[in-house]
Structure 1
Amino acid sequence: MVVPAAHAADHADPAPRWLSAITFAPDHAFASPPAPGSLEEKLDLDRLRALIAASSPERIAQADWDGEHKEPAIFDKALGKDIATLPHTLALANLVQDEVERVVAAAKHHFRRARPFMVDPALPHCGKGEQALKAYPSGHSAFAWSVAWTLAQLAPDRAAALMAKAQDYTLSREICGVHFATDVEAAHGMATAAAQALLSDPRLAPMVAAARAEWPAH
C-alpha cells in the first residue's frame, strides 16, 4: 500500500512525486494569466465586484468558512458518507490533494500574479488573503476539483453532487475576493487532468483498487 505524504506545503522540495514534472510544469499545464492592466484583468475585476456586491452576508460567511477548510471532509455531504470511515478512499484523496498542491506551488511561484485585493485595495475580501503574488492558479480550487473528480470515479452515482460541491466551494474563492475567475478556471483544468493521470497510474493501482473496494456497489 502506498502511504500518502504530508501536503506539499510541508516539503522543502515540492516537486511532484507521481505526476510528470514535464507534463505538469507551469508552462505546460497552464496558460499565462491575464496581464496586469489588460482588458482581461479588467473583466476579471468587474466580475468580482459584481459577485461580491450580490452575495448575501450568509454566503460571504460560508466563503470565509470554506477558505479555512481545505480537506476531503468537505465532501462528506455530497458523498453521502463520512470519508473518515473509508481509510483507503481518504488516503487516495489525500495523495491526490498533495500531488496537486505541488503542481500549484510551482505555478504560483512561476506566474506571480497579484491577488484581486492587491490590484484593487478597495475590493471587499475575507481579510485572510496573503499579501503575496500567489493568485494564479487557485490552490483551493485545484484541491476541490481534483478530489471531487477522484471521489466521483469511486462513487459515480454521487458525481453530480460532488461536482456541484466543488463548483460552489471554488466560487467561494471569488466571493472572498482572494482569487479571480481566471485563477479558479486555470485550477479546474489542471486538477481534473492531474487526478485522472493519478488514477490511471499503474504504480498507484493497488491504492486505487483498495479505495474502490470500499465502494462495493460500484
Structure 2
Amino acid sequence: MAGSKEIVGVAAAVALALSGASCTSKERSNASRRGVPATTASGYLAADQLPDVISAVPPPPAAGSPEMARDEAAREAALKYRGTDRYDQAISDASRSLPVILHGFSCALGTDIDKQSTPALFTVLNKTFIDVRRSISPAKNRYKRPRPFAVHNGASCLPSDDAMLRIEGSYPGGQSATGWAFGHILATLNPARSTALLQRGDDFGQNRVICDGQWQSDIDAGREIGKLILARLQADPQFQADLRDAQVEVSKGLASGRNPPKQCPSAATSRR
C-alpha cells in the first residue's frame, strides 16, 4: 500500500490549474493501434492519455515459473476464507454495479457516496472507473489469461458471472486498479480516515483472490496500473475541478451526521 507521499501528491494536484491536452487524429490513430478505443467514453482521459498497459507491466507468469507457484500458493491460502465474513465481503465486492461498489467505500469514508448526495464525487469515481476499464481492456484481450476457478474447474464466489469471466481475461486486475485509485482519491477528501480508505482500496482488489476470480499477480499488476492512471488524472484540470467540488460535498456530509452510512458492517467503518 502506498504511503502518505502519494496522498499528499493527489491533494496538491487538486490546487493546480493545468491546461488540458487535446487528442489529435494522429494520436487517436496511435492509440487505436494499441487497442485503446479512440473515444473518451465519458472518462477523463483522452485515448492518447491512457497508459500503455501492455508496455507498463510484464506479461502474466508462465506455467511452471516461480511466479506461477506464488500465485497457486496465494490461491490456496485464500480458499480458507470461505464461509467467513471476509468471504461475504468478497461476494459483495464482486458486483460490477458502481452503486454497490461505492457503498463499500462510503462505509470507509464515513459518509454516503451516491449520485444524489454527492454528485460531484460520484462523477469523479465513475469517470475514474471508466478510465481504468479502458486502460486495462487491451491487455486483458491480449493475454486472455484463464481465471483460477476456471483452471481448477471450480466456481467463483459469484457463479452467475462465471460464464462471462471465463471469456474475459484475468490479467491485469481491473478491480485492484480501481480499488487503488478510489482509496487514494477518497483519502485526500477525508484524511482522518485515510488509513481505513487505503485499506478498503487494497481489500477491494484482494477480494478477487478470495473469490477465486483472479490470481495474486493479476492484483499486483492492477495496483501498478491504478498508480499510473491516478498520476495522469492529477494533471487533468476537469478532474481537479470535480475533486474540489467533491471535497465540499464530503465535508458537508461528514458535518451533517450522515456518518457512518446505513447498513455498514462494523469492520468496514473501523478497520485499522
Place the TM-score, normalised by the shorter chain, in its bin.
0.7 to 0.9
Q: Which amino acid aligns with 1:201?
A: D
The answer on 1:49 being equivalent to 2:79 is no
Match of residue 109 from structure 2: 79
Counterpart Cα distance in 1 of 2:250 and 2:88: 34
Q: Does 1:59 align with 2:90?
A: no
Indicate the residue corresponding to 1:155 in structure 2: 190
**Structural mapping, 1:8-157, within 5 Å:** 14-15=37-38, 17=40, 18=45, 21=48, 24-68=51-95, 70-71=97-98, 72-84=102-114, 85-121=117-153, 125-126=156-157, 127=159, 128-129=161-162, 130-157=165-192
Q: Post-superposition shift, 1:19? A: 5.4
Q: Which of these residues, 204, 209, 218, is aligned with residue 169 of structure 1? A: 204
The TM-score normalised by the length of structure 2 is 0.67
Q: CA deviation at 1:34?
A: 0.5
Matched, 1:180 2:215: yes
For residues 69 and 195 of structure 2, the distance between their equivalents in structure 1, rounded to whole angstroms, comes to 32
1:62 positional shift: 2.5
Aligned 8 A contact 1:150 1:199 in 2 = no
Could you say which residue in structure 1 is the equivalent of 2:229?
194
- For 2:107 and 2:237, locate their aligned partners in 1 and report how far apart those are by CA, in whole Å: 30
SS at match of 1:191: helix
Q: Percent identity?
A: 28
Q: 1:51 to 1:154 in 2, by over 3 A?
A: same
Q: Deviations over 1:102-151 (max 9, x none)?
A: 11212211222111123222x56323332125100112222221111111
Residue segments in structure 2 that go unaligned for 5+ positions in a row: 1-35, 253-272
Kept after mapping to 1: 8 A contact 2:75/2:209 = yes
Query: Size of the alignment, in residue pairs?
Result: 204
- 2:94 aligns to what SS in structure 1? helix
Q: Does the CA-based 8 Å contact 1:63-1:175 persist in structure 2? A: yes
Cα distance in 1 for partners of 2:78, 2:238 equals 43
Q: Distance in 1 between matches of 2:86 and 2:238?
A: 41
Specify whether residues 22 and 96 from structure 1 end up closer, same or farther in structure 2 by C-alpha distance, changes over 3 A only.
closer
Select the structure of larger CA radius of gyration.
Answer: 2
- The amino acid that maps onto 1:125 is S
Contact residue 142 and residue 187 of structure 1 kept, 8 A: yes
Q: Say what the alpha-carbon RMSD is for the aligned residues.
A: 2.4
Counterpart in the other structure of 1:214: 249
8 Å CA contact 2:208–2:214 kept in 1: the answer is yes
Check whether the contact 2:81–2:210 (CA below 8 A) recurs between aligned residues.
Answer: no
Q: Which amino acid is the alignment partner of residue 124 of structure 2? A: L
